[in-house]
Structure 1
Amino acid sequence: MSGSGGAVGFIGLGMMGLPMARSLLRRGRSLVACDTSTEARAALAEGATPGALRFVDDPAGLADAADIVVLMLPDSRVVAQVMEGAGGLLPVLRPGQLVIDMGSSLPGETRRLAALAAARGAMVMDAPVSGSVVKARSGTLAIMAGGDDAAWAKAEPVLRDMGEALIRTGAVGSAHAMKALNNYVYAAGLLATAEALRMAEAAGLDLAVFADVLNASSGRNVATETKVKQEILPGRYQGGFQLGLMRKDLETAGTIAAETGFDARALELCRSLWADAVAALGPKADNTEIHKVLGGGR
């Protein structure tokens, strides 16, 4: 059991946050959690060791209970609300406390909130994750971590209870930037894979054999390895990542292009096609369903 020290605060018990919080409990951590969903709170409480978990009504309630607070929230708008809104964390942060934003936020917003926390002697670190819900359940996520040495030293033991590969990326905000750019590369690979499958289908090729060719050749990528035979060809479309989240990450990558002045034309095309998929199927559809859209599916 790796749990030690005081309780960890946790805000955001969604699709990824719930299994991540469960991983902390499984590793012997005590949690103080906050979430607006009654169902999510009940799901986390189910099977928890007596005394290892309690809930508070608002984010500010975590400040007295935990030196480390993990946020697993949908986007920067919600993070700002949790930090700065009524009952928010920021006004009650103490010197030495650490907030770890593990969602996919805008790098500029992360830097802004880090500066506000630093004015109170507290720290903000970005630690977005890569991996599916399956990896969140098993505590084997890849975690990128942006922050100084003091934040890293405080965060590392907690992050290791949720992830297998931890990669320090540099200053605060750098991890959110790298996560967005990584997801752009993944989105482009999955899009190209889905298009190639549709063309192979139209040409009358054996798609299972084509998948073998891709995975033995230079076209191999994570989509060809983990999505084609597992999700797309059998028509399961349950890859574990929503279209709306993919679009959000691509929009974040777009802000990086704008901030740097880089003319990212391939990114613009990718953003447009993924936006079309969201319009066709809705934001909660699985990301592998881009294959349906390319085949005219709605």
Structure 2
Amino acid sequence: MSLVGAYVALSKPLAAAIPVLLLAWLRFGIGALAMLHWLPKPADEPALTPAIRRLLFLEALLGNFLFTLCMIGGVSLTSAVTAGVIMAGIPAAVALLSWWFLKEHISTRTWLAVALAVLGITLFALSKQELPAQAGQALEAKNTQNMVWLGHLLLVAAVLCEAAYSVIGKKLTGTLGPKRITALINLWGLALATPLGLYTAWQFDFAAVPAGMWLLLLFYALAACMWTVWLWMTGLKVVPAAQGGIFTVLLPVSAALVGVLVLGERLSAWQLAAFGLALASVLLATLPTRLARGVRR
């Protein structure tokens, strides 16, 4: 999740240099080349059933393809700090979906954590202190604010996609190995991104992209498609989905830190308060039971 937060933040300069649809296609393409040796079926692994194939497609559609578009689009219209705060709601979303689809038990303090996460996200959205990456252009103030709200909605959609990705991934790890899951869902992501990616590439001037951006793209693709997915699936194999979702707290923390330390963004008082509420929701959800009771008292 620390790697996810880092590439979420670093996708902002990438999205400014490369169109979002083309960026997603290049990401999946690089990942597919890097994981060719992970595609063959191991001898001890069962054949893919129609149900598993559907889950792989949904995992790729929600967790790879739509998450990538929503996340990159949201960050390009707001900031890495915004992404960090809104994505702090991922643990609560994972817990809710785990309760609904996997029938995992969700405690009262998890519901309280959900309320804190929603409050933090709402407070941040109401602060209205950010401008999109294209703010230097001659846009009217009203249109600019609408773009910021669109960025917020895209990031919330990315949260829901990431939560679904965790729940579906938990079911997949009961049948397939982490490496093969990683390679197969990336292949589906490449197939989904190829039509629009090719169309965008046809009109794009690749020579205008600085050399440093290509190196950043390589890191982004390997981190987003290969390293983080393999690590996540390996962990989900032995950890309940709701408990695994708790570790996504590292995503917003890492994204915000990279936004402030690397991209030169700032945290306002409102943003700090919202970020604190979002992280408090995670803290409440992860405290040991006895300590949590003492905090509530």
Same fold per TM (> 0.5)?
no
TM-score range, shorter chain: under 0.3
TM-score of the aligned structures, taking structure 2 as reference length: 0.26
Which one has more relative contact order, counting CA pairs under 8 Å at least 6 apart?
Answer: 2
**Which structure has more helix as a fraction of its residues?**
2
TM-score of the aligned structures, taking structure 1 as reference length: 0.26
**Which structure has more strand as a fraction of its residues?**
1
